[in-house]
Amino acid sequence: MMEFYKKLENKRIVIMGCGRLGANLADYLYEQGHEVIVVDSDEDAFRKLSASYGGLTFISDATELETFDKLEIDEQTTMIVVTDSDNTNILISQVAREVYHVKTIICRLYDPQRECVYDEFHIDTICPTYLSVHRIEDILKERGA
C-alpha cells in the first residue's frame, strides 16, 4: 500500500463506506481523475462500484485504528465518511480529526439534530434530510404553491 501512495501526485481521497452514496462518489471522483480508495468491512459492498472504477478497495473496519495506519491516513488525506450509521460516522470523523489530524473531512449524517457534534470538531456535513427539505421547498416555490 505504501508504494502506491508514493506514486500519487494528487491528494488521495478515502471514502469510508461503500453503500449507494459511497460507490457513486467513488465512481464519480475516479472518473474526474482523483486517486480514490474505498473502505468497507463487507466485501460484497464493492459490487456497487461500476465496472470502470479503477481505484482501490480495502476490506476493513473503518473504526479500527489499524485501518487508518494501513492506509497511512494523515493531514493531507481527504476523507469522506458515508457509512450507514451516524454514530459510526461521528467516531470515524473524530478519530480522523483528533488522532490523524485530517484537515478535510466530509461526513454524511441522517439525523440533523446531531449536527452540533460535527460542528464541535469542525467537520463538514451533508444531511439528506436538510437537502430534501430545501429542494422540496424550492420546487414548491417554483410551482407557486
- Give the pLDDT of residue 7: 44
pLDDT surpasses 50 at 104: yes
Of 43-52, 65-74, 109-118, least confident by mean pLDDT is: 109-118
**Phi, psi (rounded to 5 degrees) for 80:** -115, 120
Question: How much of the chain, in percent, has pLDDT values that exceed 70?
Answer: 91
Confidence of residue 2 (pLDDT cuts 50, 70, 90): very low
- Give the pLDDT of residue 10: 58
CATH number of domain containing 136: 3.40.50.720
Range of the structural domain that residue 106 is part of:
2-142
Question: How far apart are alpha carbons 127 and 115 in whole angstroms?
Answer: 9
Q: Between the CA atoms of 73, 77, 82 and 83, what dihedral angle is there, to the nearest 10 degrees?
A: 0
**Predicted TM-score (pTM) of this structure:** 0.86
Is the separation of the CB atoms in 19 and 82 below 8 Å? yes
pLDDT surpasses 70 at 31: yes
Each residue's pLDDT tens digit, 120-141: 778 888 988 888 988 999 999 9
The count of structural domains within the chain is 1
Single-letter amino acid, residue 109: L
Span 73-79, mean pLDDT? 94
What is the per-residue burial (b if ≥16 Cβ within 10 Å, else e) of 104-140?
ebbbbbeeeebeebbeeeebebebeeeeeeeeeeeee
- Give the pLDDT of residue 6: 44
Q: How many CB atoms lie within 10 A of CB 92?
A: 25
